[in-house]
Amino acid sequence: MLAFVVSVRPDDVEVASDALWGLGVVAVEERSTVDGGVELWTSLGDVDPATIEWPQQWPWRLVEIDETVADTWREFATPILIEPDLVVRPAWVAYDAPIGVTVLHIEPGSTFGMGDHPTTILSLRALRRLITAGCSVLDVGCGSGVLAIGACVLGAATAVGVDIAPAAVPVTEANALANGVADRVAVSTTDLEDVQGVYDIVVANILAPTLIALAPDLRRVVAPGGALVISGVLATAHAHVLEALAPLRAVATDEQDGWVAVTLR
């Protein structure tokens, strides 16, 4: 397994880590270096680092590591409370759900989408408010499929997930099956520009530069009267993303731990 290792100055650790989370990683480890710098160790799964838009000021390298060591984060995973009656359960963690609590069972594999990142939590909450019985959902950058699957479990008729990471396809399919919605979730690596039709709700939990690049297609795939939920953006720096998405405009903004999800119509 290859680790993606980024070298940063101590002052840049927070913002560079945020950029890594926004790329869809499932864990980031900080290591001090002898010269007073910091290395951020993570995995990009099967995404080729050459294909991502990584800021040039933070050099990176790939390091071969032992996969069993890289997976130790699993020992510490716990059920994630999205709302008092909505929980995401890591598939390997036992959880006795109280009556009335809806549980999403998620095995992320090498994809992003364990449900514990603030942007995923905020996206699920926004989706829940928007979903009406029988609506259609498009999840752009579906990762583990947690949002597409959550949407169907919460009442959407169908959800389509797309992601540039090939691993997202088998992982989302397996998670859809585990949650009893395999017949309503379709997933592929189709580029957003090739996605046809329109959807009542479009959700995109992706880093700001990608949201801006995808903005024309994100607008195109929202049905008239539908809603777009974007997340993966920082509370203090997302005005430029909203500008790119005009004439859609923000109708709700939810914040957690410095991240926001914005609902636009």
Ligand X SMILES: C[S@@+](CC[C@H](N)C(=O)[O-])C[C@H]1O[C@@H](n2cnc3c(N)ncnc32)[C@H](O)[C@@H]1O
Q: Give the interface with ligand X as residue ranges (CB under 6 A).
A: 22, 24, 47, 111-113, 120, 123, 139-143, 146-147, 162-165, 168, 192, 205-206, 210, 214, 232
Q: What are phi and psi of 141, to 5 degrees?
A: 85, 60
- Minimum Å gap between C-beta 140 and ligand X is 6
Least distance (Å) between residue 84 CB and ligand X:
20
**CB closer to ligand X out of 3 and 138:** 138
37 vs 77, beta carbon nearer ligand X: 77
> Which is nearer to ligand X, 147 or 153 (by Cβ)?
147
Give the span between the Cα atoms of 32 and 239, in whole angstroms: 34
In the bound complex, what is the minimum distance in angstroms from residue 21's beta carbon to ligand X? 7
Residue 90 backbone phi and psi in degrees, to 5: -55, 130
- The residue written with tokens 């069993």 in the block is 68
Q: Cβ 132 to ligand X, closest distance in Å?
A: 21
Provide the 8-state DSSP code for 101. Answer: -
Minimum Å gap between C-beta 32 and ligand X is 27
Three-state DSSP class for residue 73: helix
- Residue whose tokens read 């995995």: 43
CB of 11 to ligand X, least distance (A): 24
Name 177's Cβ contacts closer than 8 Å, sequence gap at least 6: none
Judged by beta carbon, residue 39 or residue 163, the one nearer ligand X is 163
Nearest CB to ligand X, comparing residues 226 and 232: 232
- Report the interhelical angle of 146-153 vs 168-178 (nearest 10°): 30
Nearer to ligand X, 37 or 52 (CB): 52
Whose Cβ is closer to ligand X: residue 9's or residue 240's? 240
Q: Which residue is nearest to ligand X (CB)?
A: 141
Residue 68 near residue 133, CB atoms below 8 Å: no
CB 203 to ligand X: min, Å:
7
Q: Taking Cα atoms as reference points, which of 257, 258, 264 lies closest to residue 230?
A: 264
Q: Say how far apart CA 244 and CA 253 lie, in whole Å.
A: 17
Whether 178 contacts 105, CB under 8 Å: yes
Measured distance CA(116)–CA(87) in Å, rounded: 10
